[in-house]
Structure formats: C-alpha cells, structure tokens
Structure 1
Amino acid sequence: MSGETIRILLTDDHILFREGVAGILEREPDLHVVGQASNGREAVQLAQELNPDVILMDIQMPICTGLEAAQQLLEKQSGLRIVMLTVSDKDQDLFAAIKAGAQGYLLKGSTRAQELVDVVRRVAAGDAIITPALVPQLLSEFAAMKQGGEKPAAPPHADLATASASDDVFNALSDRELEVLHLVAEGLKNREIAESLFISENTVRSHLRNILDKLHVQNRLQAANLIKRT
C-alpha cells in the first residue's frame, strides 16, 4: 500500500483508550482513523460501512468479543487486516486470535506508540506481527501439537515449513473449488462468487467448507493467502 493512506478502525470499549490511540495514529500523514467502535458488533457494522484497511481490536468487550467479531469480519471481508490490541497474554486468547485469522497480536501494556504505528503499516503491507514476549508461547504450543500428531493451523503469511518444495497442496481441490478459491483471493464475497460462477450461495459455502478442510486451514483468509503465494 505504498503511497496510499491506510484506513483504520479502532475497536475498544474504553473511549479514553480509543481517543489516545487515535491521537497517536492521526499524527502520521499516511494513517487515518475512519471510525471507532465500542464492541465487536459495532465493529462488524462499521467495517462494512467504512471499508477500513486495518482494524485494531480489543478482545474482551461487551455484546460481542473481539475474537467473535474477527471471525465474522474475515468471513465477509477476506482482505481485512485485524490486529488484536489487548491486555490478555493468555495462551488461549493468542491461539484463538490466530485461528480466527488475525494478522497481529499486541499487548497494551508493552506496546510503545511508534511500535504501534510501525505494526499498522507492516500489517497493511501484508506482514503478520506478534508481540515478541508471546512468541515463545506460540512456538511451544506448535511444537507440542506436532509431537502429539496434530497439524497446527499456520498463521496468515507463515511459511509452511512442513511442505516440501515439490508438494502441490492444491491437487486435492476440484476445478470448481480452485475457481472459488481464486475468486476468494480476489476479495469477492459469497454472493459475488455465486453470481460470477452462476451457482447458488449455498453451493459456494459448500465449496468453501471443502476447500478449508482439504487445505487444513481455519478460514477463507488463510486459504486466500495460501493461493497467493503460488
């Protein structure tokens, strides 16, 4: 997104915190806060109206949590970049955020203003960022899952270290599923995919379920990122 203004939606139930973060971001000429939400439900609504590039999202909020909102948003708008900005350093919240498709996870208590600015820019450019203090927990969990025979879900933009260079992970997909996946990667919604391929939305959803299962990913964003790397 070089040379373009990055549109940001802030989601946190503490208005003073939101205003403080907005002030930090608005000082940067390439960053613009287009809206603020006080809970996950508002974030879902505003994201559809305002079309932000990056959403900074708290986890624990009333009505609808940040994790629930992230999952809903990425099902509808796969091109969104979501960074969880939270006080929670719990393993389960970190892993749930990754599985939901979040591209970043930062701790409020240890993230400096300039670091936040840099993370927003990097996530908008396609990077995935996790607070350094939590990386050992993430690696330990992945190692434990591997030893237990489970296949951990790769975070967005993570290298698929278990796949050899000659592996073609898309061989299992049918021609129609590949068509659907390419349209997902282009950012089309289910209705738009259905219209493009002259099929029903239910059929699109069925293809997507098969795609996620065959590619061993958690959501459409991870599937789209996988096809983009080929």
Structure 2
Amino acid sequence: MTQPIRLLIVDDHFLAREGVKEILENQREFVIVGEASNGIQAIEKTKELLPDLILMDISMPKMNGFDATKKIKSEYPNIKIVMMTVSYDITDWFEALKRGAQGYLLKNLKTEDLLNGLKAYSLDEIPMSKEMAFRIWKEFKKDGQGKQTLSVREQEVLQLVAKGCSNKEISKQLSITENTVKTHMKNILGKLQLDNRVQLASYAFDNGIV
C-alpha cells in the first residue's frame, strides 16, 4: 500500500488551517503531520517533521511564505512546497516559483479542485501549456553558465516536459518506465541547478531546446 503524503500546513489564520484539515481529514492520500502560523515556525517544523509536502501561505507575520520557501528549499530541496493564497497577482505566482515552490493554489478553489491540485503537485504531474511555459520563460531568464551538459535522452525528456507532458506521457512516448523518467528528471534538475519542472520548461525555451 502506498504511504500517505505527509503534509505540513502553514498559515497565520487558524480558521484557514482548520478549513484545510477538514477538507483533507477523510482523504487517505494525505496525513497532516503538523501546523505552523508563520515562516519561522514553518522552518522549525520542517526540520522537526520532514514532511513530504508543505501547503504554504504567502502573507504571514515574522517571516512571509516566500522567504520561508527559499530557506526550506535550500536545505531540503526534495520537500515539495505549494503556495496557497487569495492573491490573483501573477507576480506572486512567478515569485513563488522563483523561490522554489512547485505550485500555486488559490484559497477560493472548490474542494475538488484543491484536492486534485494537491494530489497532482505531490506527484509532480502538472501538465503545462506552451503558452504558459512561454510566459514563464519571459520571467525566468537563466544564462545556463556553469551547468552540466545533458545527455541525448535527458534532452528528449526535457523537450517533452516543455510541451506539457506528464511523467506517464513521457514514459509512453520514449518507451521507458515512469521510474526511469523520474530518475532522468532528478538528474536534469541537478545538472541545470533548477528546482522544478516549471523552471525546466522555461530553461528549454530560453535555450532553444523546443
């Protein structure tokens, strides 16, 4: 049986944390291991609990979600962080990704959409359109200096990521297992010094790979 995703909730509003807990309490895929009310507590709880996924608010006292995300990702790059906020500001969305977050969800989402989003982010299976990837490319401009060269297979995987393919779709197109795809993804991220597949797509556009 697959182990549930260990989730840390970070939000300075008690009712917001309670709302998320209520939504997830009957979901076998998730288990809430802790809560925090600001960025400093989020860092402390992360060190203590080592969750798989952190649901992080942006606007909080003492330390905001952006700064907490950057600090956590620098020490625990494998922990996934999803920002959750009421903000529709696209600059917040880009800033979250720059700090290393895997995704961005709005607090006013329907319960079903919130659950689907969390499940998808936890599995790193977020399809992305070429249009969105291009918009992100304009925000993330990386020069690629000091980054290792990708193998032919890794470049093939990168091309498919930029086209919005999930790991499952990539495995079918390249006739390899999903575990192999995940291994390639990990190696690509390491070589390019990037944090997530959104940044990978922007890198691909920036360097003419797609």
Instruction: Please tell me whether the aligned partners of residues 104 and 123 of structure 1 are also in contact (alpha carbons under 8 angstroms).
Output: yes
Q: CA deviation at 1:159?
A: 2.7
Q: Higher Cα Rg: structure 1 or 2?
A: 1
Structure-2 separation of matches of 1:13 and 1:73:
18
Change (3 A) 1:94 1:67: same
Structure-1 separation of matches of 2:139 and 2:30:
39
Change (3 A) 1:222 1:105: closer
1:17-96 to structure 2, matched below 5 A, reads 17-96=16-95
- Which deviations, in whole Å up to 9, do the C-alpha atoms of 1:146-183 show, x marking residues without a partner? 9xxx4499xxx98357xxxxxxxxxxxxxxxxxxxx9x
Instruction: Please tell me whether the aligned partners of residues 57 and 84 of structure 1 are also in contact (alpha carbons under 8 angstroms).
Output: yes
Runs (5+) with no aligned partner, structure 2: 145-157, 164-182, 201-210
Structure 2 match to 1:114: 112
CA RMSD of aligned residues (A): 3.5
Report how many aligned residue pairs link the two structures: 163
Structure-2 separation of matches of 1:55 and 1:152:
30
Runs (5+) with no aligned partner, structure 1: 162-181, 187-210
- Which deviations, in whole Å up to 9, do the C-alpha atoms of 1:63-90 show, x marking residues without a partner? 1110101110010001111111101111
SS at match of 1:7: strand
Aligned-pair identity in percent equals 35
Instruction: Please tell me whether the aligned partners of residues 11 and 57 of structure 2 are also in contact (alpha carbons under 8 angstroms).
Output: yes
Counterpart of 2:121 (choices 100, 120, 123) is: 123
Structure 2 match to 1:159: 161
TM-score, normalised relative to structure 1: 0.60
Instruction: Please tell me whether the aligned partners of residues 85 and 108 of structure 1 are also in contact (alpha carbons under 8 angstroms).
Output: yes
Structure-2 separation of matches of 1:57 and 1:40:
9
Structure-1 separation of matches of 2:137 and 2:29:
39
Amino acid at match of 2:101: A
Instruction: Please tell me whether the aligned partners of residues 145 and 151 of structure 1 are also in contact (alpha carbons under 8 angstroms).
Output: no
- Which deviations, in whole Å up to 9, do the C-alpha atoms of 1:73-130 show, x marking residues without a partner? 0100011111111011112211111111111101112x11122222222222123478
